[in-house]
Each structure stands twice: as C-alpha cells, then as structure tokens.
Amino acid sequence: MIKVGLVGYGKAGKAVATVLAQDARYQLCWIARRKTTEQTHLDGYPMVPLVGLDRCDFDNWFDSHPVDAVVDFALPETVYQYADALIRHRSMLVSAVSAYNSEQQAFLRQLGEVCPVMSSPNITLGINFLLMAAKMLRDIAPFADVEVVEQHFREKPEVSGTARKIASSLGLEDEHITSLRMGGIVGHHEVIFGFPHQTVRLVHDAIRREAFGTGVAFALQELATCPAGCYSFDELMMKKIRHQLLAQEQT
C-alpha cells in the first residue's frame, strides 16, 4: 500500500482524494491546503495549512506523518515547501502543477536526482494516451490530413489547452483545431485522421473530474517501480509497452 500526502485541495485535488480513498492500493494520509482554518481534519484526513508553513514546519509534519509519495495539485512555488522533507524521506513526487517557471523546473530536476519525480500538466490517463497514439499515427502516416476537434461547456473561455498540446505535438497549425462551446459538455476531444480511403478517429470523453485521480493512481503505481529521476506521464506509459515494442524487434 502506497502512503500518500496530498498538497492542494481545490476541485481537482478533492476529486483525486475521492479516487484514492476508493482504491485499496493507496492510503491517503494527510492533506495540505492553502485555505487557513482552525480545523485539524478535513473530510476525515489530518490537515495542515500551507500558508505560514515554512520548510521546517513541513519537515516536522512529514516526520510525524510519513508518506511514500506527495501528490501536488497546488501552486508552482509550493514545491519549495515540501522538497526538503521529500528528499530526507526519499519519497516520490507526482505533480500535476501546470505552470512551473524555468527556475522551478530546474529545481524539480534537482529533486529528480534524489527522488522519483513525475511532473505533467495534464494527468488524465486517456488524454495522455490520445496524445501518444496520435503522435504515433502521425509518424506512421504523415500524409493523412489531421484535425483536432474539442467540445466543452458553453462557459469555457478559451481553446482547450489539451487541444493545443495535441495540435502542437503533431506539428499542426492552430487553424486545424476546432473548438465548439455547447451546453454542459464536460470535455470531448477528438483527433481525426483522414486517409484517402479510410478514416481513423481517436476520441476522448471526460465524464467527471475524478479522471485526474485515475491518472494519479497510475503514475504512483508506475513511479513506485522507478529509480530516482524526472519522468513525464508519457514515459511512464511507455514503460508499460516498451517491453512489447522491443520484443518485436528481436523476432
């Protein structure tokens, strides 16, 4: 059983907690969150406030509440608060924080020299698979026409970051992204490959926010078998299929 500390308890963080709570392979041991309160527990978990907590405090908290992994859904700078504790305990880190600046990225790489670190702005398993599969088909059939279509709820303001990432990873101009805003669609992404005599569609439908939890669970499981190092979500997926790819080479 992997013991987990969850840093960040917004909507995504809460959804991750829900998923981990239902999975016997994980034990959610504590929550660290920004919002200050007098409570010591939240939804049944011991809770520590991030604000006003210096590294030393976090070290103490960590010592009294040791975990095998920290899952981070908080702000970029939060990593500085728990890094020392993480290193001392040789715990692993799964970070879904999206906007690390270059200094913070360098800091993560240093962390990766001591601990297994996985950092990915989108931690949904299905979306990451879509990205990987689309890149593969693009390599195999660069002559196919490719379009990215995303559909989301009416209020979502911008082109989905996921759609942008898919397009850029396929070398597509933004004009090949179609964004439709309609009703209450949670999140629909589709990559369409038009061949002269056949069509391939890779489709992802998000059902609810808990999908982040499935991705975190996957990352924890894989990272637990990895040596110290910095990993992307892609690389953890590749690990599961590489044996098969290499096996084929020797046939």
The residues annotated as belonging to the active site are: 152, 156
Name the minimum Å distance from CB 162 to a copy of itself. 12
Query: Segment near a copy of itself (CB under 8 A), from 27-35, 55-63, 85-93, 135-143?
Result: 135-143
Decide if residue 195 touches a copy of itself (CB under 8 A).
yes
128, 179 Cβ separation under 8 angstroms: no
- Determine the distance from the C-alpha atom of residue 218 to the mean position of all C-alpha atoms in its chain, rounded to a whole number: 10
Query: Segment near a copy of itself (CB under 8 A), from 50-58, 72-80, 167-175, 183-191?
Result: 183-191
Shorter beta-carbon distance to a copy of itself: residue 56 or 186: 186
Query: Strand, coil or helix: what is 164?
Result: helix
Adjacent-strand bridge partners of 152 = 181
Q: Residue from 202, 216, 220, 223 that binds a copy of itself (CB under 8 A)?
A: 202
Q: What are phi and psi of 24, to 5 degrees?
A: -65, -15
Decide if residue 151 touches a copy of itself (CB under 8 A).
yes
Name the minimum Å distance from CB 117 to a copy of itself. 13
Decide if residue 226 touches a copy of itself (CB under 8 A).
no
Name the minimum Å distance from CB 188 to a copy of itself. 9
Q: Residue from 102, 196, 225, 227 that binds a copy of itself (CB under 8 A)?
A: 196
Least Cα distance to 226 among 76, 112, 67, 60 occurs for 112
Q: Give the integer Cα–Cα distance in Å for 106 and 245.
A: 32
Over the window 206 to 225, marking each residue x when it contacts a copy of itself by CB under 8 A and - when it does not, the resulting string is xxxxxx-xx---x-------
- Report the Cα–Cα distance between both ends of the chain, in Å, rounded: 38
- Alpha-carbon distances of 126 from 95, 134, 232, rounded to whole Å: 17, 12, 15
How many Å is the maximal CA-CA distance in the chain?
Answer: 65
Name the minimum Å distance from CB 248 to a copy of itself. 6
Q: Which long-range contacts (CB under 8 A, 24 or more apart) does 202-209 make?
A: 202/130, 202/133, 202/134, 202/137, 204/126, 204/127, 204/130, 206/124, 206/126, 208/15, 209/11, 209/12, 209/15
Where do contacts with a copy of itself occur on this chain (CB under 8 A)?
19, 124-127, 129-130, 132-133, 135-137, 139-141, 144-147, 149, 151, 153-154, 178, 180-186, 192-211, 213-214, 218, 230, 234-235, 237-238, 240-242, 244-245, 248-249, 251
